[in-house]
Amino acid sequence: MIFWRTISWKKVGIMAGLLMLIMPASSWASSFSYGGFNVTSFLQATPPFNLGIEGEDLTVAIQALILVTILSFGSAFITMMTSFTRIVVVFFFLRMGLGTQQSPPNKVLIGLALFLTIFIMMPTFEQVNEEAVQPYLNEEITQMEALGEAATPLKEFMTKQTREKELLFFMDMVDMESVSSPDEIPFYVVVPSFVMSELRVAFQIGFMIYLPFVVIDLVVSAVLLSMGIMFLPPVLVSLPFKILVFVLTDGWYLLVQSLVQSFN
């Protein structure tokens, strides 16, 4: 009984997960398929991933583990290296300005921001696919060459949206001299500069969105005070007026149009 009291179920879960990773998974991967998709066929069709380890090829289980590890960085990639940051911050400013609490829900705002990000980044993704992904899958270039070709369009997009002030600040921090092209700037300099510029632009747009709603709140508060209505919260009265103004001005269309055009 003392053992069961002192054992941590969280540790048990971690131990079970480690055991699942250690167990051979090649037989499971070879038999798993869904809708005609076979894991083994997919991994075998992919060019071998060289980690600098000499010897035999990696097993299917190790390849699957490496693939999952790479995909785990997808959220950081979407957040820090695309237009997602600006869009989602502006959407949350809009919801705070309207004062609608949880409407639209977080999933709706994040989903809309994600699809707008795909729409805005599609030219860059197509360029990466043509210059890096397809040549690598056809075994025309090596992995390092593919990574270099994929990094160039992303750097061009980020530097185009980055202010020179932020970029020069991080370049001075690492004692980097002037460069002739964005391809010469490393990612650890471009990414923080890009994120700072995106947050600055997002807060500027958020302020312009928030200001009209604050004016409506002030007008409603002044009217209620002049009428001597002290027990009624002004936010409760101003909410229908803010929603009405936003709908009559076709706010969603104007907001999305402005966000998309801000990246051109």
pLDDT band at 26 (very low <50, low <70, confident <90, very high): very low
Answer yes or no: are the C-beta atoms of 58 and 29 closer than 8 Å.
Answer: no
- Does the structure show a pLDDT above 50 at 18? no
Q: Which position has the higher pLDDT, 172 or 9?
A: 172
Residue 220 predicted with pLDDT over 80: yes
- Considering only CA atoms, which of 150, 165, 154 is closest in space to residue 191? 154
Of 258, 244, 236, 260, nearest in space to 212 by CA: 244
Confidence label for 66 from pLDDT (cuts 50, 70 and 90): low
pLDDT in tens, 228-251: 777 777 777 788 888 888 889 888
Average pLDDT value for residue range 10-16: 42
**pLDDT at 6 exceeding the cut of 50:** no
Of the two residues 17 and 127, the one the predictor is more confident about is 127
- Please give the pLDDT value at position 4: 39
Q: Which of 208, 207, 205 is nearest to 261 (CA)?
A: 205
pLDDT at 94 over 50: yes
Residue 48 preceded by cis peptide, ω within 30 = no
Q: Kindly tell me if the per-residue pLDDT of 48 is higher than 60.
A: no
| pLDDT of 200 | 92
Percent of the chain with pLDDT over 90: 9
Which of 231, 212, 223 is closest to 99 using CA atoms? 212
Give the total residue count for the chain: 264
Q: Can you give 113-163 as a three-state secondary structure string?
A: HHHHHHHHHHHHHHHHHHHHHHHHHCCCCCHHHHHHHHHHHHHHHHHHHCC
Work out the pLDDT band at 60, boundaries 50, 70, 90. Answer: low
In this prediction, residue 203 carries a pLDDT of: 92
Helix ranges restricted to H, the chain: 2-6, 9-22, 26-31, 39-45, 60-71, 74-81, 84-98, 106-128, 134-137, 143-161, 164-173, 187-226, 234-248, 251-261
pLDDT digits (tens, 9 = 90+) for 129-146: 888 888 878 878 887 788
Which residues are CB-contacts of 47 (< 8 A; sequence separation ≥ 6)? 136, 137, 139, 143
